[in-house]
Amino acid sequence: MADQPVVAARFPVAAYLYVLHLDGPALAWEYLRRHPDYQADWRRRRRRSEAARPWGLRLFEDPTRDARDAHPLWFPSDPAIMQLHPDADPMLDGPVFDLWRMPGRKWLIHDGLRLRMTVGWPGICLRLVLASGLAAGQAYVCAVRAASYRTGQAWMKAVAQRDLDPPLAQTSPRPTAAQLLELHTLQALDVSLSGASLREVAGVVFGADTVATQWHADSALRARVRRLVRRGRALMGGGYRRLAQLPPLEQGRSTAPAQRP
């Protein structure tokens, strides 16, 4: 058995706190980048864009970069993505396109077909597509699907108010149960992939004191850790597609047809 303090030191909870602020597509990347086969594909075939399609990506993304620095391009596109187009009939007080005056931190990338922009600021992450005819100083309209309507409203409000200055201090609510589940799942998955036992996983995720008092053959703690590891491996193995809102992989012809009533 590996030395527990050494294992815990390799996977400190502080290194996973950023996970609490990730949305579905970003979480999907966190699980995909841990897949050993994806890592091997990245090393061997990263210059072949078509090889990334089975993973649900337009292009390969470096698996050593976490969701704070990586911006994977999912294929097909995120259904909640917003599009900015030139306004053919602008209002007098309507917004004009000015990249540098838009709120939030921005990343630009061309996917081979169009220019995409990711915008992030506390509590909000948006993925946008910029129409080819959109120029600086030009009036624009925002096309958004119903899935991201409320987020789009928040972004348009921030643009209208030119809320560019970050707050001097920021408070955030306590993490939700769903956010903590993702943090614990990723942490448990990493410890498990390192070859640690379930007991060692429990010690890293929940602490040595908890393991000392609550771990035994039929304990609820052991069952919880087992579920976390199983969930993490399932998401890494393909379940991440649901988080990225991608269609499931097509079944082969050899797959037995579903029974019908």
The answer to whether the pTM exceeds 0.85 is: no
Residue type, 34: R
Please tell me which residue, 151 or 106, carries the higher pLDDT value: 106
- Is 129 inside any structural domain? no
Weakest mean pLDDT among 3-17, 55-69, 192-206, 247-261: 247-261
- Is 231 inside any structural domain? yes
What's the confidence (pLDDT) of residue 207?
94
Phi, psi dihedrals of residue 251, rounded to the nearest 5°: -80, 145
- Is 34 inside any structural domain? no
**Residue 212 belongs to domain spanning:** 4-20+175-243
- Is 58 inside any structural domain? no
Across 103-109, average pLDDT = 80
Are residues 187 and 204 in contact, defined by beta-carbon separation less than 8 angstroms? yes
* pLDDT > 90 in the chain, percent: 47
- Is 170 inside any structural domain? no
| Residue-averaged pLDDT of the chain | 83
What's the confidence (pLDDT) of residue 80?
63
- Is 111 inside any structural domain? no
Token pair 């429990």 in the structure block, residue: 202
Phi, psi dihedrals of residue 108, rounded to the nearest 5°: -115, 140
What's the confidence (pLDDT) of residue 252?
45
Count how many domains the chain has. 1
Could you tell me the maximum CA-CA distance found in the chain, to the nearest angstrom? 70
- Is 50 inside any structural domain? no
Token digits of residue 107:
């990343």
Please tell me which residue, 255 or 118, carries the higher pLDDT value: 118
- Report strand pairing: 115-121 vs 124-130: antiparallel
Please tell me which residue, 167 or 56, carries the higher pLDDT value: 56
What's the confidence (pLDDT) of residue 185?
98
pLDDT tens for 132-150 read 889 888 998 888 765 555 6
Across 54-76, average pLDDT = 92
Across 7-28, average pLDDT = 91
